[in-house]
Amino acid sequence: MDKVLYDEIPSLDLRNFREGNQEQREKFVQDLGTAFNNIGFIAVKNHGLSDTLTSQLYQVFQKFFGLPEEIKQKYDIPGLFGQRGYTGKGKEHAKGRNTGDLKEFYHVGQVVEDDDPVKNEYPENIWPEEVPEMKSIATQAFKTLEETGKQILQAIALYLDLEEQYFEDKVRHGNSILRAIHYYPITHPEEIPEDAVRAAEHGDINLITLLMGASAEGLQVLRRDGRWIPITALPEQIVVNVGDMLARLTNDTLKSTIHRVVNPPKERMGTSRYSIPFFMHPRSEMDLTCLSSCVNEKNPKSYADMTAGEFLQERLAEIGLKK
């Protein structure tokens, strides 16, 4: 397939896949696959997340991040390795770096409501008593984005000539994370390390990431020719990108593209930026062995066999969340 150098990420309408005729569905699948094969990012509208819910979600997390440090620290639980609750400023860094990112974040994870034994793998969610409305709003957003993610994965499966429901049992009660991020104001730039940035260049760990519009600019993606291009989405869109697990499964047929969040101009260093990505993970036992259909003479196998759980633990150590 010919490679395309995008100046901006393609915009797709999920309704064409969810409710469209055969021709519309096939075009969505092909457009999605072409974008994921080239740049690894798309913008999607009609994704199911309402403006009201998005606004409520941002409000509750802005309320939490506005709490005094000593209160937030109550929800940074030792031994959870950042899986649930609060992770404080500078604790996470990109793979291959030692300088912490200029951010703090809060994790909401999977809720298993039946007797699926995978429930024993997940810690309970942590809900701050100071923001009682967080539980219902964050849980609703989690479920909505998980459903949207499943639809995207159905289209990905078709693009890969797999059965449409290929990912369904692999992501049912998957180890997904809703991450609310606060890139906090830098009021004394001279006090931070010279190489510190809001989020250093990295690839996401998971299958796919779904990102609702952030509160400020700053997200950039590294194009194949080495040029960084800004990622922007219209208010009614979310951004969806390929994660490292999906790239691994497809032997890089689908591209997990390096991206970053750059620091704002000096005059805006004292302002906050909020972002809430949904990291869609499979169950830990999912086999990430490269699909045989994605391995050939031109594209020899690039990755050792491992499960999603093994890969996650390896990456958590690499980014400083697990020692």
3-state secondary structure 123-172: CCCCCCCCCCCHHHHHHHHHHHHHHHHHHHHHHHHHHCCCCCCCCHHHHC
Cα 216 to its chain centre, rounded Å, is: 17
d(CA 235, CA 13): 14
Per-residue tens of pLDDT for the chain, all 323 residues: 446 666 678 899 999 999 999 999 999 999 999 999 988 899 999 999 999 999 999 999 999 999 999 999 999 998 888 899 999 986 766 566 666 678 899 999 999 999 999 999 999 999 999 999 999 999 999 999 999 999 999 999 999 999 999 999 999 999 999 999 998 888 776 666 666 777 778 889 999 999 987 655 788 888 878 888 888 777 789 999 999 999 999 999 999 988 888 777 777 778 888 999 999 999 999 999 999 999 999 999 999 999 999 999 888 877 666 66
According to the model, what pLDDT value does residue 2 have? 47
- List of residues 6+ apart from 24 with CB closer than 8 A: 16, 17
Nearest 5°: the CA angle 120, 106, 213 is: 120
Query: What does the DSSP 8-state code read for residue 214?
Result: P
Closest CA to 49 of 164, 165, 155, 138: 138
Domain positions in the chain are: 11-318
According to the model, what pLDDT value does residue 279 have? 96
- Which two structure tokens, joined as six digits, stand for 67? 């709490």
d(CA 152, CA 157): 9
Does domain 11-318 fall under CATH 2.60.120.330? My reply is yes
- Taking CA atoms, 310 is separated from 168, 189, 255, 285, 316, in Å, by 20, 38, 21, 9, 10
According to the model, what pLDDT value does residue 61 have? 97
According to the model, what pLDDT value does residue 172 have? 97
Torsions phi, psi for 279 (to 5 deg) = -95, 110
Instruction: Give the Cβ contact number of residue 34 at 10 Å.
Output: 17
According to the model, what pLDDT value does residue 74 have? 96
pTM for the model = 0.91
Q: Which residues pair with 242 in a beta bridge?
A: 208
According to the model, what pLDDT value does residue 95 have? 67
CB 206 within 8 A of CB 176: yes
